[in-house]
Structure 1
Amino acid sequence: MAMMVRFSDTACHSRTKEAVPMPAVPSGAVGRQPARRPRTTSSPLRSILGLVLAAAVLTAVPPTGASAHAVQPGKDPTLVHTTLGPIVGRDEGRSSGTYSWLGIPYAEPPVGDLRWRAPKTHRSWVDVRRTQRYGSGCPQPGRFFSPSPNGPFYDLAVRDGLQQPVGEEDCLTLNVFRPSTPKRNLPVVFFIHGGSNVVGYSADPMYDGRELARRAEAVVVTVNYRVGIFGWLNAEGSAAGDPLSASGNFGTLDLVNALRFVDQNARKFGGDADNISVMGQSAGAVNVWSLLVSPLARPMVDKAIPLSGGLSTRSVADARAYADRVMQAAKSDHPSSDKNGLDLLRSLSADDLVRVLVRHRLDATPAVIADGTVIPSDPYAVLESGVGRDVPVLAGNTLEEGKLFGSAIAAHKPSDYDRFTLQYLFDPDNPGDLTPSDLLKDEYLPVDKPQGWNEAAAALTEAVFTGINRESLNALARSGNRSLYHYRFDWNQQPAPFDQVYGAVHAIDLPFVFGNFGRSVFSYAFSQQNQPGRLRLSDLMIASIRNFVTKGSPQHRGLGRTWDQWPTSLVLDADDRHVHLGSTTDR
C-alpha cells in the first residue's frame, strides 16, 4: 500500500553527470556525428573526436554569418539565425510569457527518391523564413491521436479521418518554445510524440510547449518524424548501398537528424547544447530508449524522460516478413500495375499506400528494428554495458495504462467514430446520465468483478507497459546507473462514468506534464470541480521536471518527501482539492 502525504517543503538534491567515451560510429551516419562542446570530464578520445567532428560539421553547414544570439538589440526577439538560415517566430504575448517557432524544417521532404531513404539535412536558405504555423503531420491511418483531415489540428473532424489517410509526406519539421526572458543556457527538452510509431503529430494540443517552457524555464522542442510504414520498412534490396537506409529505421533516423539540429542550434534559442533531455511518451518513450542505445544519437542525450514505454525492438527477420506481406497486399490491390515489390510501393501515393495497409490490417508496423547499425542487434546488452550509466532517467507510468486499449479486446460498445464524438462533445461540468454500460460491453461489467474491465485492463497494463518499463530500468540499474527515478500516476477524478471506464489511463499524465488542460482527447476529464487538485498536481509535476532537466534529480522542496530511486516509485495523485503523494516498490 502506498503511504500518502500532502505536499509541502523539503530539501532538493542534484547529481553531476560524468561523460563517457563516445563509441565507434558506422560510416555515413546521417550526415555526420554531432559536434559537442567537450565537457571538462571528457576522455582524451572524446576530445579528439570532438575536434574532428566539429570540423566536419563546419564543412557541411553553409555559414550564415549570423550571431549566435537569438535576441539582438533593436531587433525582433524571435529572429534567430539557425545553421540552416534565419527564421522569425511568434511572440506569444505577455499572458503567455513565451516565444515560439513552429514548423521549422530540419530535413528535406522525404518524397520521391527520398521516400525510404535516410533523411537528408534540409537545404539552407538566405531570406528570413516565417516559422509561425505548425507543419503537417506525417502520413498515417487516422486514429484518435491523429491529426484532422483538415490539417495539423485537433477538432471534431478527426473522427472523419478515422481509418482514412491523413497527413502529408512533407512533414519533417520541429517546433521550439522558450520563455520570453533574456535568460540563456536554459536546459533543453526534446519531446517525441507517441502513437505506436504508427500515428501522432507534434501539433497535438497536449504537446503545446509554451506552458512547460515558461514554468520549467527550458527550451522545449516537439518534433514530427515519419511513422508507420514510412518510418520503418526493411525491404530486401531497398538500400542502394546505403547502410543507414538498409536499416529500415527511417523514423529513428529522422529523430537523430532532428536532435542534431537541436544540438547545433540550442544556443541560438538560448538553450544549453550540453544539457538536452530527450523526453517521449508511449512509442515516443520507446524512441527515447532507442536513441539512448543508438551510436548515432547517444552522445547527444544528456538526460532521458521516457513515459509509459521501454526499450522495445523488432528483429530484421520480422521486419522483412512484414515488408513482404505489404508488397503482396499492394499487388493484390493493384494487379494491373506493371510494377512489383518495392517498385510498386514507391509508385503508389502516400494515401493509396495507407489504404492498402488499412484494408489488409497491416498498419501495425514492426518498429524499432534491431538492424545492427542504427540500433544494436542486442540493445539490452548495450544498455547493460554502461552506455547510459551516467544519463539520469526520469521514467513514468499511469496506473491504468491498459484502459486506453479497449478496442484491442473488443471491450468498447460504441464504434470508434461514435466514441470519439461522445467524448469530444461531452461537457465535464454537465455530465448527464451516462453510465459505464454506455461505453463498455456487458461482459466487462461491473468493472470490478472477477475478469471484469479492471482486471482485463490491468493485464494489458502489465503486458504492454509496466513489464517492459521494469526490464529497461533494471537493465540500466545493472549497468551501474545511480540516477533512476520513476513515478506512477494514479489520478482518476474524471466525472462519471469516465472515472471507471478510463481512470488513470495511458497518456492522461501528459496534460499535467505540459500544463495543458484545454481541448484535447482528454477534455472529457477536466471539470471545474476537479480543477484545484489537478492544477496543484500539475504544478508539482512540472516543478519536478524543471529540477530534473536542470540538475538531474526530480527532488524539490514542494514534494514534502524524498523521491527515492528505482525500484521505488513516487505515487502521484490528487482529489478534487489536494495533492496526495505516496510510494510503492516494484519487485
Structure 2
Amino acid sequence: MPAVRTALRPVVGFVLAVAILTTTPATSTSAHPVQPGKNPTRVHTTLGPIVGRDEGRSSGTYSWLGIPYAEPPVGALRWRPPKPHRQWVATRHTQQYGSACTQPGRFFSPSPNGPFYDLAVRDGLQQPVGAEDCLTLNVFRPSTTKRNLPVVFFIHGGSNVVGYSADPMYDGRELARRAQAVVVTANYRTGIFGWLSTEGSGNDDPLSASGNFGTLDLVNALRFVDQNARTFGGDSDNITVMGQSAGAVNVWSLLVSPLARAMVDKAIPLSGGLSTRSVAVARAYADRVVRAAESELPSSGRTGIDLLRSLPADDLVRLLVRHQLDATPAVIADGTVIPADPYAVLGSGVGRDVPVLAGNTLEEGKLFGSAIGAHKPSDYDRFTTQYLFDPDNPGDLTPSDLLTDDYLPVDKPQGWNDAARALTDAVFTGINRDSLNALARSGNRSLYHYRFDWNQEPAPFDQVYGAVHAIDLPFVFGTFGRTVFSYAFSEQNQPGRLRLSDLMISSIRNFVHEGSPQHRGLGRTWEQWPTSLVLDADDRHVHLGSTTDRPGE
C-alpha cells in the first residue's frame, strides 16, 4: 500500500492544491515529532506550535483537543470548500474540545451548554445546538516515546445531521493506549451546512457545486492528519479510517473519493455502507429549503441560496425543524468529490489493497422505534428515563413503559423483535453486504466482519434495546462511563463486557498494526467475509461464534 500511496500522492496533492484544500501553505515549516522533555505535549504542527495535556499515569496518554484544521466556515465561507486555517506563531493551547457543528438537537447531539454530554441534552432536542465555528479535531496517543504508531482517524455518526467528536463515547485515550496507536476524532459540518446543492448560485466551481462540504471537511482533516502524523508519533503510511453509522458511510465515501483514497490505508466501517444521494435528489431538497425560507421571509429582499446564507445558523435550523427538512440528503454522488457511480468505482479495484474490518450489531433497528411509532415516551421523556436509570438498582420499569402495546410482547409475531429485525435488514445489513461484496468482487482478500450480539442490559432494556445500533462503540473505545448507553452497564455484567471489550480492542490493535483482526486471545480463527465473527458475552464470560451471510435468508 505505501507504493500505491506514493504513486497517487502527486495527483491528489495537485487536485487539493488547486482546490485550496491543503492545510499547509507553501511557506510552512516542517512538522517536528514529539520529543522527550519537560513537556512532551508541546509540538509543532504544519500550522503552528500547540501544547496539549498529559493525562497522567492512570491514563497513560497525551491528548491535544480542539485543534483547528480549517478556517471557521461562516459568512461568505458557508457552503464553500474548507479554507486552510491561517498559521499561528504563538503556542496554541489545545486542551479543550472545540464546539460541535451547528445541528438540530437529537439523542446523539451535544448539550446546549457546549460540547458536553449531560442531562441538558434533552433540553436541546429539536433546538439549535453547536456552532458554525466547529472545524476542529482531537489527537490522543500513548504517553511514551514510541514512533511510527498506526493512526486511527475516527468519524462520528449521527445520520450526517448530528453528532460531535467530544461525545464521551469517542474519548480516544483508552483506545490509543491499548491499541498503541494515535487516535484522531474530528468534527465536520453536518446537516444542511455539510450537504447542500448550491449549483447555479454563484458557487459553480466543481467543489462548491458538489454540495459535499462535510465530505470536503473530512478530506481536509484527513490531509492535516496525513501531513502531521509524524508530529504525534504516527505513521502517515498507516492510517486507518474508522467510522460508525453515518461515519461509516463517510469512510466508504473517502475510500472512493479521488480526493482522499490515497490517504486511506485501512478501513473500519461500523454499521454503515456505501450510500449516496443523486444530484437530482440533492437539488430537489435544496429547492424545498429555499421555498420554505422564501415563504417565511417574503420581504427580505433576498432569494435562493443568498437568502439562506443571510440567515443566522440557529434561525436556519429552526426553519428546517418547523418544515421537517432537517434530514439532509447526503452524501451526494456529484461526479467530482464523489463519483457519479461510486459502486462501480468500488468494484473497479480502487480499494483492492485496503484491508477492511466492518461490523454490525444484531439489533441495529431497535434504536429507531420512533420512526415506526414503537417508542411510547417522547424523546424528551425517554432521554430522561435512560439518563437517570440506575443499572445497579433497576426498579420496576417494564417494556410496556417504553414500548407501545402494538409491539408487545416483544417476541410475538409482528412484535417488537420482528419489527426491529425488518429495520435492521432494510437500513443496515443490506448496504453493508453490498459494500463488502463489491470489494470482494474487485479482488480484495482482506475483508473481515463482526456481528455484535451483546444484550446483557438490565431489564427492561435487554428487550427494548438489546444489541442496539451503536452499543458496540463503548466496547471499541473502552468508554463505559456516563454516555447515552450508561443504562446498560451494571456491576453484574461488568466482568463479561470488559472481557469482550478487551478482545475487541485487541482485534482492532492487530488490525491497525498488521491488517488482520486475528489474535491469539480469540482462541479461534476469524474467517474472512462472507463469514462473520459473532461477538457476545454473558455476565462473566465471552462467547464467540460465526455466521455466514446468505442473502435472501
Settle same-fold status: TM greater than 0.5.
Answer: yes
Query: SS where residue 220 of structure 1 aligns?
Result: strand
Q: Say if 2:390 is the partner of 1:427.
A: yes
* 1:258-277 equivalent positions in 2, closer than 5 A: 258-277=221-240
| Distance across 2 between alignment mates of 1:283 and 1:560 | 32
Aligned partner of 2:8 among 9, 19, 22: 22
- What residue number does 1:453 align with? 416
Aligned amino acid, residue 185 of structure 1: N
CA spacing shift, 1:24–1:289, aligned 2, 3 Å: farther
- What residue number does 1:462 align with? 425
Shift of 1:63: 2.7
Aligned partner of 2:61 among 98, 106, 110: 98
Q: Say if 2:511 is the partner of 1:548.
A: yes
The superposition leaves residues 290-317 of structure 1 with CA deviations (integer Å, 9 ceiling, x where unpaired) of: 0000000000000000000000000000
- What residue number does 2:137 align with? 174
Relative contact order (C-alpha < 8 Å, sep 6+): which is higher? 1
Q: Say if 2:55 is the partner of 1:70.
A: no
* 1:336-347 equivalent positions in 2, closer than 5 A: 336-347=299-310
| Distance across 2 between alignment mates of 1:67 and 1:217 | 21
Q: Does the CA contact (< 8 Å) of 2:243 and 2:269 recur in 1?
A: yes
Q: Say if 2:192 is the partner of 1:229.
A: yes
Q: Does the CA contact (< 8 Å) of 1:193 and 1:223 recur in 2?
A: yes
Aligned partner of 1:490 among 453, 459, 476: 453
Shift of 1:236: 3.2
Q: Does the CA contact (< 8 Å) of 1:30 and 1:118 recur in 2?
A: no
* 1:112-151 equivalent positions in 2, closer than 5 A: 112-151=75-114
- What residue number does 2:484 align with? 521
Shift of 1:583: 0.2
| Distance across 2 between alignment mates of 1:486 and 1:343 | 45
Query: SS where residue 306 of structure 1 aligns?
Result: strand
Q: Gaps spanning 5+ residues in structure 1: where?
A: 1-15, 36-55
Q: Does the CA contact (< 8 Å) of 1:32 and 1:57 recur in 2?
A: no
CA spacing shift, 1:560–1:27, aligned 2, 3 Å: closer
The superposition leaves residues 219-271 of structure 1 with CA deviations (integer Å, 9 ceiling, x where unpaired) of: 00000000000000002323534211110000000000000000000000000
CA spacing shift, 1:77–1:309, aligned 2, 3 Å: same
| Distance across 1 between alignment mates of 2:398 and 2:23 | 59
* 1:554-573 equivalent positions in 2, closer than 5 A: 554-573=517-536
Aligned amino acid, residue 194 of structure 1: G
Q: Gaps spanning 5+ residues in structure 2: where?
A: none
Q: Does the CA contact (< 8 Å) of 2:12 and 2:260 recur in 1?
A: no
* 1:37-436 equivalent positions in 2, closer than 5 A: 60-64=25-29, 68-72=32-36, 74-436=37-399
- What residue number does 1:11 align with? none
The superposition leaves residues 96-123 of structure 1 with CA deviations (integer Å, 9 ceiling, x where unpaired) of: 0000000000000000000000001100
Aligned amino acid, residue 408 of structure 2: L
Q: Does the CA contact (< 8 Å) of 1:23 and 1:295 recur in 2?
A: no
Q: Does the CA contact (< 8 Å) of 1:62 and 1:83 recur in 2?
A: no
Aligned amino acid, residue 211 of structure 1: E
Aligned amino acid, residue 477 of structure 2: F
Q: Does the CA contact (< 8 Å) of 2:31 and 2:228 recur in 1?
A: no
| Distance across 2 between alignment mates of 1:508 and 1:88 | 33
CA spacing shift, 1:465–1:24, aligned 2, 3 Å: farther
| Distance across 2 between alignment mates of 1:105 and 1:270 | 19
Q: Does the CA contact (< 8 Å) of 2:23 and 2:223 recur in 1?
A: no
- What residue number does 1:3 align with? none
| Distance across 2 between alignment mates of 1:462 and 1:17 | 37
CA spacing shift, 1:23–1:313, aligned 2, 3 Å: farther
Query: SS where residue 19 of structure 1 aligns?
Result: helix
Q: Does the CA contact (< 8 Å) of 1:84 and 1:124 recur in 2?
A: yes
Q: Does the CA contact (< 8 Å) of 2:137 and 2:186 recur in 1?
A: yes
Instruction: Name the stretch that deviates more: 328-337 or 345-354.
Output: 328-337
CA spacing shift, 1:95–1:23, aligned 2, 3 Å: closer
- In the superposition, the TM-score normalised over structure 1's length comes to 0.91
CA spacing shift, 1:538–1:222, aligned 2, 3 Å: same
Shift of 1:29: 3.7
CA spacing shift, 1:385–1:508, aligned 2, 3 Å: same
- What residue number does 1:40 align with? none
| Distance across 1 between alignment mates of 2:28 and 2:289 | 43
Give the % identical residues: 84
- What residue number does 1:31 align with? 17
| Distance across 2 between alignment mates of 1:34 and 1:242 | 12
Shift of 1:75: 3.7
Q: Does the CA contact (< 8 Å) of 1:307 and 1:395 recur in 2?
A: yes
- What residue number does 2:436 align with? 473
Shift of 1:552: 0.1
| Distance across 1 between alignment mates of 2:2 and 2:220 | 24
| Distance across 2 between alignment mates of 1:384 and 1:204 | 34
| Distance across 1 between alignment mates of 2:337 and 2:248 | 17
Query: SS where residue 320 of structure 2 aligns?
Result: helix
The superposition leaves residues 528-560 of structure 1 with CA deviations (integer Å, 9 ceiling, x where unpaired) of: 000000000000000000000000000000000
Shift of 1:24: 9.6
| Distance across 2 between alignment mates of 1:499 and 1:308 | 20
| Distance across 2 between alignment mates of 1:32 and 1:133 | 33
Shift of 1:144: 0.3
Shift of 1:26: 8.4
For the aligned residue pairs, the C-alpha RMSD in angstroms reads 1.7
| Distance across 1 between alignment mates of 2:322 and 2:23 | 44
Q: Does the CA contact (< 8 Å) of 1:61 and 1:84 recur in 2?
A: no
Q: Does the CA contact (< 8 Å) of 1:68 and 1:267 recur in 2?
A: yes
Query: SS where residue 533 of structure 2 aligns?
Result: strand
Aligned amino acid, residue 71 of structure 1: Q
Q: Does the CA contact (< 8 Å) of 2:142 and 2:181 recur in 1?
A: yes
Shift of 1:57: 8.3
Q: Does the CA contact (< 8 Å) of 1:98 and 1:178 recur in 2?
A: yes
Q: Does the CA contact (< 8 Å) of 2:31 and 2:45 recur in 1?
A: no
